[in-house]
Structure 1
């Protein structure tokens, strides 16, 4: 652009950045006139998790999957449970054991695949889940790792808020086996609150389903924000219009980060589960 600005088109924010600027997600920026992935190969979290923790209840149940996260996110959820990494940027990092800050480890794609294969041999790991922060803001790393993982016969899983631009999302889907996508609320107003894009996430849920990926959906139910019976009815009806076989996870909110409302009553979740089950075959409760 003019004035030495770059525009990042990876998500709905379309951040315009001068040299040295960092985008809304804190993981992409203009460095020397080039768009740079600031989180490429940098991991803050590595764990061998039960697949159900993603949560994926209908994709290789009972298995374990190597789960990795980096830093940054393109939403601003005031209730984020992983805000220490999702809201972090370059200036918050320390490498390995050097200095204070958010500890990150360099793990190039080839080394991540080696680790995945090693944990397959020793622990029955089925692949890699990109999770914890918003993995799709580390798009190039996820793409490069996914290609190598597929070549090695391992599964690729995304746990994502689903607000990636449709072009990059479509290019990535052939490399992905399963996704859990957050459908954070079912109104444009809720998505304005978290700085997201309601239509974009619905478009991507549909695209992932139509591409033949295994898709499960999670909604964190927050009192006074997205817990009305009418909203749940509309959400479940819409998901069922794609397929009544899509599993929906209704997760219990607890106070986190900037949001201090009391935790969601379990009775609320049970009531919403009953509404959703009129349309969907699988409705699971989480954090209860």
Structure 2
């Protein structure tokens, strides 16, 4: 029996019968590729959209968030390894690809509607490896006149990106570091992610935000400055820099200091990315949304959804600064 190639991510694994991909989720069985754990929701809940983090896509709103199991990376610092890594007891590959009581896409959309949310978020694990399920859900969400947000490591294959662009309204892409960092700590590569960032940033109908988790002692000033230029050159408007806390296989490292984080925030700002934010941090001055032209504070805090919603109506009517008329990147109204 011939091998089959998966096109869900940049690995594009070629699988013989009975084999699974690097993700441990895509499997060649019965001369077709299946997704292990299809319909097996491992996490779900209602979150502020800012938690993704998304500060320029309907801030002040709630989103229905969920995940199936899996990831195509092996990040040593993974914050959600229990629902993403194959060394987890929950890995569907331990029991086969059948799910006894799968949640159908329609049932999941019904859950979203009952929650009162206007946005469905594909998050927590890596949606790329269960994109067949995501696409079914996202199509139904679109049919209901609602919106889709994907939180991803961005390591699309070209074909996967084209499939997904048709139904996703907003992306948060986790850009982790330079290529050496990807290969040493994540089992990935930088270039496919930068290619996806460039493609998505060029689209006028899609909101893109980028997040980088900073590990003090591994990420350096030079690395962050280079990454900032690479993102700016590709049109990135929003960059979240977050503090690392010890987790998974990197528990021996100290947490990233507020001082180091602020130094990196200043570097990102100096390179010219218009909206730079701090994450996992008490640096509250770096969670404001400021007009890049007149420097008026438009949203004072993204920690309090109700306040953000009210400030948007007052300060960003029609998506422009109320003081100077500058267009503010993003989507602020349904």
**TM-score if structure 2 supplies the norm length?**
0.77
Tell whether the 8 Å contact from 2:12 to 2:157 is kept in structure 1 after alignment: no
- Between 233-242 and 278-287, the greater mean CA deviation after superposition: 233-242
Tell whether the 8 Å contact from 1:93 to 1:104 is kept in structure 2 after alignment: no
Question: Where does structure 1 lack aligned partners over 5 or more consecutive residues?
Answer: 95-102
CA distance in 2, matches of 1:287, 1:155: 26
CA distance in 1, matches of 2:199, 2:223: 22
2:141 matched to which residue of 1? 149
CA distance in 2, matches of 1:256, 1:268: 19
1:65 matched to which residue of 2? 63
Tell whether the 8 Å contact from 1:222 to 1:252 is kept in structure 2 after alignment: yes
Q: How far is 1:174 from its partner?
A: 2.0
2:214 matched to which residue of 1? 221
Which of 271, 274, 281 is equivalent to 1:281? 274
How many equivalent pairs are there?
272
Tell whether the 8 Å contact from 1:43 to 1:104 is kept in structure 2 after alignment: no
- C-alpha RMSD of the superposition: 1.9
CA distance in 2, matches of 1:280, 1:15: 35
Say which one has the larger Rg: 2
Question: Where does structure 2 lack aligned partners over 5 or more consecutive residues?
Answer: 282-334
Q: How far is 1:243 from its partner?
A: 3.0
Q: Alpha-carbon deviations, 1:80-101, whole Å to 9, x = none?
A: 010001114224569xxxxxxx
Tell whether the 8 Å contact from 1:19 to 1:31 is kept in structure 2 after alignment: yes
Q: Alpha-carbon deviations, 1:235-262, whole Å to 9, x = none?
A: 2222222336x11111110111111211
Which of 92, 107, 116 is equivalent to 1:90? 92
The 3-state SS of whatever aligns with 1:68 is strand
1:176 matched to which residue of 2? 168
2:127 matched to which residue of 1? 135
After TM superposition, the structure 1 = structure 2 runs for residues 1-288 of structure 1, keeping only pairs within 5 Å, are: 4-88=2-86, 89-92=91-94, 106-120=102-116, 125-185=117-177, 187-193=178-184, 194-212=186-204, 213-226=206-219, 228-243=220-235, 246-260=237-251, 261-278=253-270, 279-288=272-281
Q: How far is 1:104 from its partner?
A: 9.2
CA distance in 2, matches of 1:93, 1:31: 14
The 3-state SS of whatever aligns with 1:61 is coil
CA distance in 2, matches of 1:259, 1:195: 15
**TM-score if structure 1 supplies the norm length?**
0.89
Tell whether the 8 Å contact from 2:7 to 2:160 is kept in structure 1 after alignment: no
Which structure's residues are more often strand, by fraction?
1
